[in-house]
Structure 1
């Protein structure tokens, strides 16, 4: 009994000597990756996966084939962004990684606000010299930065305003903030499939934007994330500001073509061969929402008119740790 007590005491002393946030998270080969609101950044044939899942920031995993993942491997105890290095103390949600003028940027949510941090590596650490949020009134979440073909940058995001509504604003060239004079609402949940529970707080969130054949396509997720009908729809426009016309074949990704509940809030990526994918999350099971699972599905724009986004339901699969 005395020996057991000494062992416990030693372990406890070790635990309090090293901050928990600095310790790497252990992963088990064969397990499904458990991150919500995922995004994948690809560079030189290497894929980096980030998402919502750690109370201390954002973990990052790596793959060379989009099938098997190792990590977490971020430079801050498995994290690419660690609490304290940038804005925010809690609620680290929905990161997006992009490269601009030789630097890596992470747009993310913390404290129900949006911030943008920088790094010299996809593995972090992502930091802010001045820890600050993006300007705007009220609560703002789910950022997505889109660089247009003319070089202009736009921030698509969600305002918690009479429901979760998607907005857009022009980013300043140095990415330090948005131009408040350019803020414009894009869309909100109003169609039957977007609010199957008839909630008084309808939800549209998780925006991501692609430009194809001269048109802008805004992909978003509707319904509360706890709903089995959480699903992905999309809208089209001739301008990054809209107006947006919702596509009649929405929802594009749902439990009906994946067999999984709570499908949504993800991001698009192109693999090394130019194939298009959408990475997103699902509920943990038919009876439990979390921890949410990370999944991927193949997508492509149709060849004929009118142009539509097509997804291959047979390609749906979960991401697995190596």
Structure 2
């Protein structure tokens, strides 16, 4: 059993199983592969259990980052970032019959464009039950980090169209450039609906370090257009968050803090849903 305070993890992602009374925690754990932990209280964790290990000859040999696991049509799908020497970083999709895995290849290589440096793909199902992946086109390649969306096949085994640019990181009033003055980062998108609105939580760097902000789709569609809140949801050197329902059916926010390795830990903070829109007051730990 590992306490939350002793579990080093970045980019935490929680899947809740109400029937089992169990939480599954995924994240970046600096392995060639992905692990999962289980808990009944978000404070004490069992594991790690190997959720995915690459077989010999698998294309990716580094940067195993930010796995998310979504339940979709009775199966579990992992969206994860991977890279190899001579290959662009991208998001690949894996599938399993259980949250513990083992996860097997679903997509044939990355779903993101093969000549783009990309990361942090997340699944979004629109109002017509059409699957999309929202992902980041990295600042390393485009300087002003891009948030993009690409339609997926119903079986989630690949794209069903071309990517669309949703917005650039510099469009958010709270986002600050890195040292060069022209490099803005997009990280960790997470989409959800609240008060009839489609919102996106995502990370970049703000005045006080790594941060989480909110953007809102004017049309209610994943294709936007998107506007950006003036203030951060959290702005004090923590980020890459997502929202989940706990076992008491209350909304929770998780993200890692601080952003410095090897000190990063997952935090779990109750949220109150305001009507008609999500509260954007800064969260104090």
Normalising TM by the smaller chain, what interval? 0.7 to 0.9
1:188 to 168, 172, 175: 168
Q: Is residue 224 of structure 2 the alignment partner of residue 242 of structure 1?
A: yes
Runs of 4+ aligned structure 1 residues displaced above 4 Å come to 27-31
Residue 31 and residue 56 in structure 1: after superposition, are their counterparts in 2 closer, same or farther (change >3 A)? same
Q: Is residue 70 of structure 2 the alignment partner of residue 83 of structure 1?
A: no
Q: CA deviation at 1:127?
A: 1.0
Q: Equivalent residues in 2 for 1:188-207 (5 A)?
A: 188-190=168-170, 191=172, 193-195=174-176, 197=178, 199-207=181-189
Distance in 2 between residues matched to 1:283 and 1:263, nearest whole Å: 5
Which shifted more, 34-43 or 140-149? 140-149
Residue 128 and residue 254 in structure 1: after superposition, are their counterparts in 2 closer, same or farther (change >3 A)? same
Q: Equivalent residues in 2 for 1:91-170 (5 A)?
A: 91-111=63-83, 112-128=89-105, 131-136=108-113, 137-160=115-138, 161-170=142-151
3-state SS of the aligned residue for 2:271?
Answer: strand
TM, length-normalised to structure 1: 0.76
Alignment coverage as a number of residue pairs: 269
1:67 to 20, 43, 65: 43
More helix by share: 1
Q: Equivalent residues in 2 for 1:269-280 (5 A)?
A: 269-280=244-255
Aligned Cα root-mean-square deviation (Å)? 2.4
Residues 112 and 118 in structure 2, CA contact (< 8 A), matched pair in contact too: no
Distance in 1 between residues matched to 2:202 and 2:12, nearest whole Å: 13
3-state SS of the aligned residue for 1:34?
Answer: coil
3-state SS of the aligned residue for 1:223?
Answer: strand
Q: CA deviation at 1:247?
A: 1.7
* Equivalent residue, structure 1, for 2:278: 308
3-state SS of the aligned residue for 2:174?
Answer: helix
3-state SS of the aligned residue for 1:194?
Answer: coil
What per-residue deviation string (whole Å, max 9, x for no partner) do you get for residues 234-257 of structure 1?
111121111001123x201122xx
3-state SS of the aligned residue for 1:301?
Answer: coil
What per-residue deviation string (whole Å, max 9, x for no partner) do you get for residues 242-286 of structure 1?
1001123x201122xxxxxx21002111112221111111126xx
More strand by share: 2
